[in-house]
């Protein structure tokens, strides 16, 4: 089989949506944080916690909705802890992020081990998955229907979130405040906008989106929790919003680039290439993407400067 | 004007986290519908007191009364709700947003219950503009506006929030004399329509022209409050510091020698293609101070950055002592005998968390006197630092005290100690006394003259008209990235004349400007 | 008492309180999940001192952390957090291993070669994020995290295809030559010669950072990079060299660890030492002198967690929660700030009173 046989299939198209979903959720979260002026590396931890609590919530309630809500609430709580430390106690942003990610990585295993005696995966727990849905009419369109219909509900929620986040950031009072707080906190403060409060709110959105991303990992992408299953997606999301220049649409598009890279790494495993190199694709793409973005920006600036 | 106090501050004491006591038992009482001046030297505690009033800083002791009732102002929100507005010294605007967005920020008109009604925001902005006769385009992006306009946006912001008491923190510091006059008309308008204004300044002529009453602060304490009628500038000035604020620097006539710095046909574009410097030509000779006057943002910053190697240039030529600096690094240029006081002390001039000693040696740590085969020679470094602390009268606990714990004036003395102590051939001095107390100002200015007398060529860039007129031997004026005037004798220049050049209303002929090249 | 002194004392107090709070949380967690809380708590706190072997474990565990945290002290002093120490440590161990089984040498020289090679590869790995930052202004946090993943996959590939010993019975490299291994220096434990090297690294890092002109440049850049540029320092060179020196130390640490503790290279993923280094450097306020104390402390709670994971039903991962709490509190500026502010206000008032009475 050659590469193109794999890429130009509806399966591959479908796969892209499937693997983009978690990155898109978290990248939107990272974007909101960034617009509020916070470099948020805690998303990796938020996703992990969301993933585990989705499994826990759905196992004990036997309800998908409760499962997803549990994931969101857990991630939100973690995000609030992050917010409290960074905003109230003025902790170092990066150190706090690292600390939370380490605690989330170990803490999820700790909980997993207590709940099901296994430190690897949660397969012994009877957790649920969010269902896939067919979209009427669209599902009957050839090719396109096969690619964009029949996805997990959360995949559609993630697309809806792009619209919501766009309205929030660009058209709502809160978005204006978030942008002003990120660009000039003193200016925001001078008109009575509480920088801390606004950033708290931004981090609440981030927490919710991170939780949804996590819930999708363990309740859609696969049907179990595995240790460190976020596998750097939280960091990739950070890179995606960077590449998207902090705009909702840009973040949406760059998340898809990472989705394609991720899809490639899952699909190309049937090829004779060494598995390790294929697994590297998303991480290499991140770096290459950031380089291309930076080169383009530099090129534009140089052109402008040369103009008389 | 009524006799009733709209606002009273009683016994305010404020201690900063670094232990600096900015206000001690300060009292201020403002009547309704007056323009009340708050004066004092730099570092007397005016800004701090207003930050306390506006809820930006908390205070340790004292109370604030509004309309006779004690109030608790915990943050700017509560201050704004009580009808207090503030125009800060550094503009509090979001550059990427429009004027209207900046004005409605925090009180946005809404449509559909959730989204911003942009059309109404623009309308509202226009309305207040008309009501107070302030002309600003509501849809312009703030980053594209000139300084004077930005200040109007700031005032509009306060008015949009129904401010009854308006605090202006040194509003004229960034304005040309003409813009200042315009502002005064606007402020008097506002007073006549019932607003109360607190006007912070250390320029007594302005205070005398504009204000009704004055409160004087000195060293963080209240000296007293008085009616301005029948009070002379000299009397206020005596209250402020026991001497005239307009510092007169004693200096002999310059004896210029050979050209040290020569700038030829220098041009520069910004990263978005805007011209910043256009065809700049001038020379500075050993033993003279050439002043560069101009409203900030007209290319002075870039000019000083290019000469010191911080900014690259492609078009034009710069020579120091006959040697081109094109392609040279900051270090190479410094080793050619160039020293540099940056306009932005906190960003460039010092490492705030590092000690005095570490700040003093940053330009010479790798010279053989202070470094042997890679290891720092701490004994020599201590000796140097102790000597400089004495010579520059830097007030600090010990040589390792973090610089951030020092007052602004002492920080600037640390910078000056470093930059003036390597016997520079050329010194680029940018805003040397911005925001520091009078004692330090006088000290630094005298040091600059001393430097000149030792034969250093000094390029002095300053937005402070008094400073530039007092210190420079001759001066050039920059506007829109160009040199628009060369004035060979600073003593003979009036502030009004300078203001017209700075605003670009007047421009000399090219032949006149060529005088700065000293080609006979 | 001067303001500077108060700040110093409060810093220490803050660290101690952070540790106490994290211990309280630990005790609470143990009580929640353990069926024998009393014993488990005892085992956690005192277990590490029960036997000589366990006390040895503390030191063994501290050795790699000493390397990575000194690496972070140097790298982070520039103000840029390179998270690549994890990858450097891993690839350093792998590269050192290649020399350890692939070449013959005499016993004194062999480990030296392994360590240097491991260090060099670590330095190259750490250089990548620095170059990306210098050339394209790419955030080193994101890039170094990505590189950690890439390095691990690369390592797994190299191990599987070029180093694997099929007779080992598990996924491990060919066994090291005896000449390459670092000898045990205290019998009854597995404390190896790497301890001496680690102490040398701590001393080197201290002298380098605090006493040389290079360390001075690095610190000034970290305090204020624009100040460094303005003063004439070449910040790109400083950034690149500091990251490479840090990468070298981390890589050498990886090689030391494999040669002292293992017979073959068998890491499936990067060990935690890289991130531990970030944590220890943070607790030590980037001061190499404080690094040994912080590293031993971390190793101590690690061993404590190991003990209870074997003697009770509490998983060893509890330790990552403790770690998280400590780093967050130590890094929190405003934590205990009211107390600090009060002390400073008091001191200033005294100063003022003194001046006025004159």
Report whether pLDDT(B1) > 60: no
- Shared domain check, C64 and C99: yes
**CB within 8 Å: B310 and C212:** no
- Shared domain check, B509 and B451: yes
Query: Is A14 an interface residue toward C (CB < 8 Å)?
Result: no
Report whether pLDDT(B239) > 80: no
- Shared domain check, B302 and B205: no
pLDDT in tens, A188-236: 988 888 899 999 999 999 999 999 999 999 998 888 888 888 888 888 8
Rounded CA gap, B257 and B456, in Å? 10
Query: Is A92 an interface residue toward B (CB < 8 Å)?
Result: no
- Taking an 8 Å Cβ-Cβ cutoff, which residues of chain C contact chain B? 2-4, 211-214, 216-217, 219-220, 223-224, 226-234, 337, 340-341, 344-345, 347-349, 351-352
State the pLDDT at residue C177: 86
Rounded CA gap, B107 and A124, in Å? 53
Residue A305 pLDDT grade (very low, low, confident, very high; cuts 50, 70, 90):
low
- Shared domain check, B330 and B466: yes
- How distant is the Cα of C354 from the closest Cα of chain B, in angstroms? 14
Rounded CA gap, C174 and C194, in Å? 22
- Shared domain check, C190 and C90: yes
Q: Does residue C46 belong to any structural domain of this protein?
A: no
State the pLDDT at residue A303: 67
Structural domain total, chain C: 2
Residues spanned by the domain of A93: 3-306
Q: Do residues C295 and C69 lie in contact, with contact meaning Cβ atoms separated by under 8 Å?
A: yes
In B, residues 403-432, which contact C (CB 8 Å cutoff)? 405
> What are the chain C neighbours of B349 within 8 Å (beta carbons)?
227, 230
State the pLDDT at residue C356: 64
Q: How does DSSP assign A266-296, residue by residue? A: HHGGGSSS-HHHHHHHHHHHHHHHHHHHHHH
State the pLDDT at residue C249: 97
Structural domain total, chain B: 2
- Shared domain check, B211 and B283: no
CATH number at residue B436: 3.40.50.300
* DSSP reduced 3-state for B447: helix
**Partner chains of C (3+ C-beta pairs under 8 Å):** A, B
Rounded CA gap, C230 and B342, in Å? 9
**CB within 8 Å: C3 and B405:** yes
State the pLDDT at residue B285: 93
- Shared domain check, B196 and B284: no
**CB within 8 Å: A107 and C317:** yes
Rounded to an integer, the average pLDDT of A246-262 is 87
Token couple for A121: 């995966």
> What are the chain A neighbours of C30 within 8 Å (beta carbons)?
none
- Cβ burial, residue B131 (10 Å; 0-12/13-18/19+): exposed
Q: How does DSSP assign B317-334, residue by residue? A: EEEETTEE-TT--HHHHH
Q: Do residues B493 and B478 lie in contact, with contact meaning Cβ atoms separated by under 8 Å?
A: no
Report whether pLDDT(B217) > 90: no
Rounded to an integer, the average pLDDT of B17-35 is 85
Q: Which of C313, C329, C349 is the last residue of a domain?
A: C313
State the pLDDT at residue C358: 58
DSSP E strand boundaries for B202-351: 213-218, 221-227, 259-269, 275-285, 289-293, 315-320, 323-324, 338-341
> What are the chain C neighbours of B352 within 8 Å (beta carbons)?
223-224
Query: Euclidean distance between the first and final Cα of chain A, in Å?
Result: 54
Residue B356's nearest CA partner among B410, B279, B422 is B410
Q: B491: which DSSP letter? A: G
- Shared domain check, C161 and C115: yes
Instruction: State chain B's mean pLDDT as an integer.
Output: 87
User: For residue C102, what are the contacts with CB-CB under 8 A and spacing of at least 6?
Assistant: C174
- Complex prediction ipTM: 0.85
**CB within 8 Å: A276 and C156:** yes
- Shared domain check, C18 and C64: no
* Helices of type H across B248-319: 300-307
Rounded CA gap, A192 and B56, in Å? 10
Q: Do residues C99 and C174 lie in contact, with contact meaning Cβ atoms separated by under 8 Å?
A: no
Rounded CA gap, B351 and B362, in Å? 10
- How distant is the Cα of B358 from the closest Cα of chain C, in angstroms? 8
**CB within 8 Å: A187 and B56:** no
* DSSP reduced 3-state for B196: strand
Nearest residue on chain B to A186, alpha-carbon basis:
B92
Angle at C312 between CA C308 and CA C317, to 5 degrees: 50
Q: Do residues A176 and A158 lie in contact, with contact meaning Cβ atoms separated by under 8 Å?
A: no
Rounded CA gap, B157 and B138, in Å? 12
Selecting from A177, A183, A307 the residue whose C-beta is nearest the C-beta of B96 gives: A183
Residue B179: in which H helix or E strand, if any? helix B177-192
Cα–Cα distances in angstroms (integers) from residue A116 to residues A104, B168, B240, C142, C305, in the given order: 18, 65, 75, 34, 19
Q: Do residues B33 and B5 lie in contact, with contact meaning Cβ atoms separated by under 8 Å?
A: no
Rounded to an integer, the average pLDDT of A71-97 is 91
Q: Which of B191, B214, B241 is the last residue of a domain?
A: B241
Say what percent of chain A tops pLDDT 90.
38
Q: Does residue C342 belong to any structural domain of this protein?
A: yes
Say what percent of chain B tops pLDDT 70.
97
Q: Does residue C307 belong to any structural domain of this protein?
A: yes
Rounded CA gap, C141 and C160, in Å? 29
Q: A7: which DSSP letter? A: H
State the pLDDT at residue B453: 92
State the pLDDT at residue C292: 95
pLDDT in tens, C314-331: 888 888 888 888 888 887
Q: Which of B241, B276, B298 is the last residue of a domain?
A: B241
State the pLDDT at residue A3: 65
Q: C332: which DSSP letter? A: B
CATH number at residue A157: 1.10.3470
Q: Does residue B155 belong to any structural domain of this protein?
A: yes
Residue B309 pLDDT grade (very low, low, confident, very high; cuts 50, 70, 90):
very high
**CB within 8 Å: B19 and C231:** no
- Shared domain check, C287 and C142: yes
- Shared domain check, B132 and B81: yes
Query: Is B271 an interface residue toward C (CB < 8 Å)?
Result: no
Least confidently predicted of A50-59, B232-241, C31-40, C151-160:
B232-241
Report whether pLDDT(B406) > 70: yes
**CB within 8 Å: A107 and C324:** yes
> What are the chain A neighbours of B96 within 8 Å (beta carbons)?
179, 183
Selecting from C321, C327, C332 the residue whose C-beta is nearest the C-beta of A106 gives: C321
Residues spanned by the domain of C268: 60-313
- Shared domain check, C204 and C154: yes
- Shared domain check, C30 and C164: no
- Cβ burial, residue A46 (10 Å; 0-12/13-18/19+): buried
Q: Does residue B454 belong to any structural domain of this protein?
A: yes
- Shared domain check, C98 and C28: no
* DSSP reduced 3-state for A89: coil
Report whether pLDDT(B215) > 70: yes
Q: Do residues B5 and B30 lie in contact, with contact meaning Cβ atoms separated by under 8 Å?
A: yes
Q: Does residue C279 belong to any structural domain of this protein?
A: yes
Structural domain total, chain A: 1
Residue B241 pLDDT grade (very low, low, confident, very high; cuts 50, 70, 90):
low
Residue C284's nearest CA partner among C239, C331, C325, C319 is C331
**CB within 8 Å: B375 and C212:** yes
Report whether pLDDT(B444) > 80: yes
Q: Does residue B28 belong to any structural domain of this protein?
A: yes
> What are the chain C neighbours of A284 within 8 Å (beta carbons)?
146, 150
State the pLDDT at residue B333: 94
Residue with tokens 């004692």: B439
Q: With left for phi above 0 and alpha for psi between -120 and 50, is residue A192 left, alpha or beta?
A: left
State the pLDDT at residue B242: 52
* Helices of type H across chain A: 3-7, 10-35, 43-61, 64-83, 93-116, 144-148, 153-171, 173-183, 185-190, 195-216, 233-243, 248-267, 275-306
Residues spanned by the domain of B305: 259-337+422-517
Nearest residue on chain B to A166, alpha-carbon basis:
B115
Q: Does residue C41 belong to any structural domain of this protein?
A: no
**Partner chains of B (3+ C-beta pairs under 8 Å):** A, C
**CB within 8 Å: C328 and A95:** yes
- Determine the longest span between alpha carbons in chain C, in angstroms: 85
CATH number at residue C170: 1.10.3470
State the pLDDT at residue A306: 57
> What are the chain A neighbours of B79 within 8 Å (beta carbons)?
192
Q: Does residue C50 belong to any structural domain of this protein?
A: no
- Shared domain check, C29 and C134: no
Residue B339 pLDDT grade (very low, low, confident, very high; cuts 50, 70, 90):
very high
State the pLDDT at residue B244: 45
Token couple for A118: 């296994």
Report whether pLDDT(A33) > 90: yes
State the pLDDT at residue C8: 80
- Shared domain check, B197 and B66: yes
Token couple for B176: 């040309």
State the pLDDT at residue A304: 60
User: For residue C72, what are the contacts with CB-CB under 8 A and spacing of at least 6?
Assistant: C85, C246, C277, C278, C280, C281, C286
Say what percent of chain A tops pLDDT 70.
94
Low-confidence residues in chain C, pLDDT < 50: none
- How distant is the Cα of B220 from the closest Cα of chain C, in angstroms? 12
Query: Is A20 an interface residue toward C (CB < 8 Å)?
Result: no
């Amino acid at each position: 089989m050659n590469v193109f046989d794999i890429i130009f299939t509806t399966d591959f198209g479908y796969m892209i949506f499937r693997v983009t979903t978690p990155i898109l959720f978290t990248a939107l979260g990272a974007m909101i944080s960034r617009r509020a002026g916070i470099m948020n590396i805690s998303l990796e931890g938020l996703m992990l916690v969301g993933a585990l609590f989705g499994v826990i919530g759905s196992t004990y309630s036997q309800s998908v909705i409760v499962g997803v809500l549990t994931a969101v609430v857990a991630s939100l709580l973690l995000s609030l802890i992050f917010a409290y430390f960074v905003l109230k106690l003025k902790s170092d942003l990066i150190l706090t992020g690292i600390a939370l990610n380490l605690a989330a990585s170990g803490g999820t295993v700790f909980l997993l081990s207590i709940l099901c005696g296994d430190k690897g995966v949660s397969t012994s727990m009877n957790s649920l998955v969010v269902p896939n849905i067919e979209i009427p009419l669209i599902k009957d369109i050839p090719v396109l229907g096969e690619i964009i219909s029949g996805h997990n509900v959360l995949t559609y929620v993630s697309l809806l979130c792009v619209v919501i986040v766009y309205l929030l950031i660009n058209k709502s009072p809160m978005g204006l405040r978030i942008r002003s707080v990120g660009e000039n906190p003193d200016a925001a403060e001078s008109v009575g906008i509480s920088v801390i409060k606004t950033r708290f709110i931004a981090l609440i959105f981030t927490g919710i989106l991170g939780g949804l991303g996590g819930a999708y990992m363990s309740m859609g992408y696969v049907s179990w929790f595995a240790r460190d299953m976020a596998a750097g997606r939280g960091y990739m999301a950070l890179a995606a919003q960077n590449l998207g220049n902090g705009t909702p649409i840009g973040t949406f598009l760059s998340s898809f680039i990472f989705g394609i890279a991720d899809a490639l790494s899952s699909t190309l495993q049937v090829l004779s290439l060494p598995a390790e190199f294929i697994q590297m694709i998303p991480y290499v793409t991140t770096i290459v993407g950031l380089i291309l973005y930076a080169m383009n920006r530099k090129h534009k600036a140089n052109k402008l400067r040369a103009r008389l | 004007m009524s006799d009733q106090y709209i606002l009273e501050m009683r016994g305010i004491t404020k201690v900063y986290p670094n232990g600096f006591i900015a206000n001690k038992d300060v009292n201020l009482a403002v009547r309704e519908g007056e323009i009340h001046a708050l004066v004092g030297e730099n570092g007397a505690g005016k800004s701090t007191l207003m930050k306390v009033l506006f809820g930006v800083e908390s205070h340790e002791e004292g109370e604030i009364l509004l309309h006779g009732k004690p109030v608790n102002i915990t943050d700017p929100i509560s201050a704004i709700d009580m009808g207090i507005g503030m125009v800060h010294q550094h503009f509090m605007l979001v550059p990427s947003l429009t004027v209207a967005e900046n004005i409605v920020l925090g009180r946005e008109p809404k449509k559909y219950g959730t989204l911003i009604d942009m059309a109404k925001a623009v309308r509202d902005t226009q309305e207040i503009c008309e009501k107070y006769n302030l002309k600003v385009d509501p849809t312009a992006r703030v980053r594209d506006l000139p300084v004077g306009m930005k200040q109007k946006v700031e005032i509009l912001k306060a008015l949009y929030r129904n401010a009854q008491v308006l605090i202006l923190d040194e509003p004229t510091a960034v304005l040309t004399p003409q813009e200042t006059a315009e502002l005064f008309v606007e402020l008097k308008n506002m007073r006549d329509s019932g607003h109360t204004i607190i006007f912070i300044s250390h320029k007594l002529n302005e205070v005398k022209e504009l204000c009704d009453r004055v409160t004087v602060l000195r060293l963080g304490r209240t000296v007293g409050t008085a009616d301005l009628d029948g009070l002379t500038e000299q009397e206020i000035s005596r209250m402020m510091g026991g001497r005239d604020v307009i510092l007169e620097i004693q200096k002999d006539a310059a004896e210029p020698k050979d050209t040290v710095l020569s700038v030829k046909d220098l041009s520069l574009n910004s990263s978005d293609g805007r011209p910043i410097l256009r065809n700049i030509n001038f020379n500075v000779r050993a033993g003279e101070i050439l002043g560069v006057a101009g409203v900030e943002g007209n290319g002075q910053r870039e000019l000083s950055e290019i000469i010191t190697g911080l900014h690259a240039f492609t078009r034009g030529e710069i020579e120091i002592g006959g040697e081109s600096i094109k392609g040279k690094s900051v270090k190479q240029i410094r080793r050619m005998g160039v020293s540099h006081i940056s306009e932005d002390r906190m960003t460039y001039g010092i490492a705030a968390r590092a000690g005095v000693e570490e700040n003093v040696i940053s330009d010479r740590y790798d010279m053989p006197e202070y470094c042997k085969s890679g290891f720092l020679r701490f004994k020599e470094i201590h000796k140097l630092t102790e000597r400089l602390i004495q010579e520059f009268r830097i007030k600090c606990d010990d040589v390792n005290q973090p610089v951030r714990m020092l007052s602004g004036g002492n920080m600037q003395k640390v910078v000056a100690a470093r930059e003036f102590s390597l016997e520079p051939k050329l010194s680029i001095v940018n805003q040397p006394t911005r925001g520091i107390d009078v004692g330090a100002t006088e000290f630094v200015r005298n040091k600059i003259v001393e430097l000149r007398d030792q034969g250093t060529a000094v390029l002095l860039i300053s937005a402070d008209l008094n400073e530039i007129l007092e210190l420079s031997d001759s001066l050039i004026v920059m506007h829109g990235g160009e040199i628009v005037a060369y004035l060979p004798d600073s003593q003979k220049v009036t502030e009004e004349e300078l203001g017209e050049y700075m605003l670009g209303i007047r421009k000399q002929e090219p032949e006149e400007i060529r005088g700065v090249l000293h080609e006979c | 008492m001067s303001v500077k002194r108060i700040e110093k004392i409060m810093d220490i107090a803050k660290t101690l309180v952070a540790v106490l709070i994290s211990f309280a949380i630990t005790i609470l967690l143990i009580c929640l999940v353990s069926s024998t809380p009393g014993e488990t708590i005892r085992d956690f706190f005192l277990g590490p001192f029960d036997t000589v072997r366990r006390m040895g474990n503390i030191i063994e565990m501290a050795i790699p952390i000493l390397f990575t945290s000194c690496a972070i002290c140097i790298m982070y002093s520039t103000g840029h957090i390179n998270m690549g120490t994890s990858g450097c440590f891993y690839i350093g161990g792998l590269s050192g291993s290649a020399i350890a089984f692939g070449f013959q040498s005499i016993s004194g020289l062999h480990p030296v070669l392994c360590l240097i090679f491991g260090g060099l590869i670590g330095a190259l790995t750490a250089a990548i994020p620095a170059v990306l930052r210098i050339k394209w202004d790419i955030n080193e946090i994101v890039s170094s995290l990505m590189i950690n993943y890439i390095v691990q996959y690369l390592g797994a590939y190299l191990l599987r295809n070029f180093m694997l010993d099929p007779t080992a019975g598990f996924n491990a490299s060919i066994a090291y030559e005896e000449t390459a291994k670092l000898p045990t220096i205290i019998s009854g434990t597995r404390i190896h010669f790497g301890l001496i090297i680690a102490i040398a690294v701590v001393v080197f890092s201290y002298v380098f950072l605090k006493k040389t002109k290079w360390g001075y440049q690095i610190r000034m850049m970290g305090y204020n990079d624009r100040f460094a540029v303005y003063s004439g320092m070449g910040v790109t060179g400083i950034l690149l060299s500091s990251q490479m020196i840090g990468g070298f130390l981390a890589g050498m640490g990886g090689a030391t660890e494999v040669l002292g503790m293992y017979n073959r290279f068998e890491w499936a993923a990067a060990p935690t030492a890289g991130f531990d280094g970030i944590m220890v450097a943070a607790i030590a306020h980037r001061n190499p002198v404080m690094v040994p104390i912080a590293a031993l402390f971390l190793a101590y709670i690690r061993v404590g967690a190991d003990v209870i994971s074997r003697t009770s039903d509490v998983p060893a991962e509890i330790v990552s929660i403790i770690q998280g709490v400590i780093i967050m509190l130590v890094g929190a500026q405003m934590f205990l700030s009211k107390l600090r502010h009060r002390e400073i206000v008091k001191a200033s008032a005294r100063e003022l009173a003194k001046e006025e009475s004159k």
